[in-house]
Amino acid sequence: MILKQLTALSNKYGSDEELVLAGGGNSSAKEGNVLYIKGSGTSLATVKAGDFVKIDIEKLLSVFEKKYPEDDKLREAMALEDLMAARLPSDIDKRPSVETTLHGIFPQTFVLHVHPAVVNGLTCGADGEKIAKELFGEEIIWVGLCRPGYVLAKLCKELMEDYKKRFSVNASIILLQNHGIFVAANDVEGLSQVLEGVLRKIRGRLTRYPAPHKKQAPENCGEYCRTLCALYGNGASAVYENFEESLRFSASKQSAEPLLRPFTPDHIVYCRAYPLFIDSIAQAEWGFEQYKSEHGFPPKIVIVRGMGYFAFGENESAAKTAHILFKDAIKIAVYAQSFGGVLHMTDELINFIVNWEVESYRQKQSNKAE
């Protein structure tokens, strides 16, 4: 019964483009000592009851009693091993979401975690925390910038316990700076109410929405795509985007400034941390070379002055995902104007996630080799 409800809830919110992009986000439900969590690599929109991973809650939460090494890599590797060990024996061939521990710390039955642009306009706003307090008072827990993984889960757990002590109820909303939102409730209806209440309040403060219009694509668009794909190399695919807001941001390097650094970990993962800005297609070859010598790989996003942006990937679906995520970054940049202007991730956190990505890529490659 609970799995049926969880699947329906996941599919409902997963199909809402305002809330979920490119399969991001995750959901869970608890029954007795079992947590059902969305599997890594499945998407909320299409997840089926059989795709959820069963986790022993007691084992999952025992990570908080452990003492892990200070070293980031070691700590995260050990915490991941413990997460895997918390799977029920029937599910050891499934991979739970990396955010499972965060779901486990909510005592409520249902938990949903998403990264909607409208919410991230607030969480990536320079005055986001202040305005969140004005909008929600003590209804929410605001979590400042924090390394993902075990450290974030532990911090959230401590903040949840503190909340419970102060208000004698469990917190049902966590807003994570430069990341997204967790909502929790004991029933599906309650969860909808909590989530929709948050969205309503945030929308109520918006002074501007991203312009939805598309402009006409430049005549040589196809040719530009081919030129840039050749520079990217290895049979890459490209998607060109010219909706009004992307043109507005691409008007000059100065206007593109809010987009030249990442807002959330997802933007780093799918679009790489830094887009390349060039004045014209004629500068592309030079720009790619410069970028590659600085970063060691080609850019996934190229903003061309006055033209919008091109998103690249090793194949069509990777290019499409990079495109969707960068469009999301543009929306966040627009929404953040209602919350004091943009607030990016810090260099320290960007580097941490970039290194983490490199590491997990290496691991995937070595798994493949096995």
In the shown chain, the binding pattern of residues 131 to 170 toward Zn ion, with x for contact by CB under 5 A and - for none, equals: ----------------------------------------
CB 262 within 8 A of CB 271: yes
User: 149: which residues sit within 8 A by CB, 6+ positions away?
Assistant: 75, 76, 79, 98
Least Cα distance to 246 among 327, 150, 355, 177 occurs for 327
CB of 177 to Zn ion, least distance (A): 12
CB 33 within 8 A of CB 58: yes
CB of 99 to Zn ion, least distance (A): 5
Q: Applying CB under 5 A, what is the total number of residues that bind Zn ion?
A: 1
Q: Which is nearer to Zn ion, 123 or 246 (CB)?
A: 123
CB of 269 to Zn ion, least distance (A): 10
Q: How far apart are CA 197 and CA 191, in angstroms?
A: 10
CB of 202 to Zn ion, least distance (A): 17
Q: Report the site for Zn ion in 41-80 (rule: CB under 5 A).
A: none
User: 94: which residues sit within 8 A by CB, 6+ positions away?
Assistant: 39, 51, 53, 87
CB 298 within 8 A of CB 228: no
Judging by DSSP bridges, how do beta strands 173-176 and 141-143 pair with one another? Answer: parallel
Give the residue closest to Zn ion by C-beta.
180
CB of 20 to Zn ion, least distance (A): 11
Would residue 132 be called left, alpha or beta, if left means φ above 0 and alpha means ψ between -120 and 50 degrees?
alpha
Type of residue found at 181: I
Q: Which is nearer to Zn ion, 250 or 264 (CB)?
A: 264
Q: Which is nearer to Zn ion, 125 or 287 (CB)?
A: 125
Q: Which is nearer to Zn ion, 96 or 180 (CB)?
A: 180
Measured in degrees and rounded to the nearest 5, phi and psi for residue 67 equal: -115, 110
CB of 115 to Zn ion, least distance (A): 6
Q: Which is nearer to Zn ion, 9 or 174 (CB)?
A: 174
CB of 136 to Zn ion, least distance (A): 20
Residue 113 tokens read as: 């975690």
Q: Which is nearer to Zn ion, 176 or 276 (CB)?
A: 176
Q: Report the site for Zn ion in 168-207 (rule: CB under 5 A).
A: 180
CB of 113 to Zn ion, least distance (A): 6
Q: Report the site for Zn ion in 1-40 (rule: CB under 5 A).
A: none
Q: Which is nearer to Zn ion, 125 or 180 (CB)?
A: 180
Q: How far apart are CA 298 and CA 314, in angstroms?
A: 11
Q: Which is nearer to Zn ion, 121 or 180 (CB)?
A: 180
The sign of the torsion formed by the CA atoms of 166, 171, 173, 175 equals positive
Write the CA distances from 248 to 56, 216, 221, 282, integer angstroms.
50, 14, 18, 21
| Site for Zn ion, rule CB under 5 A | 180
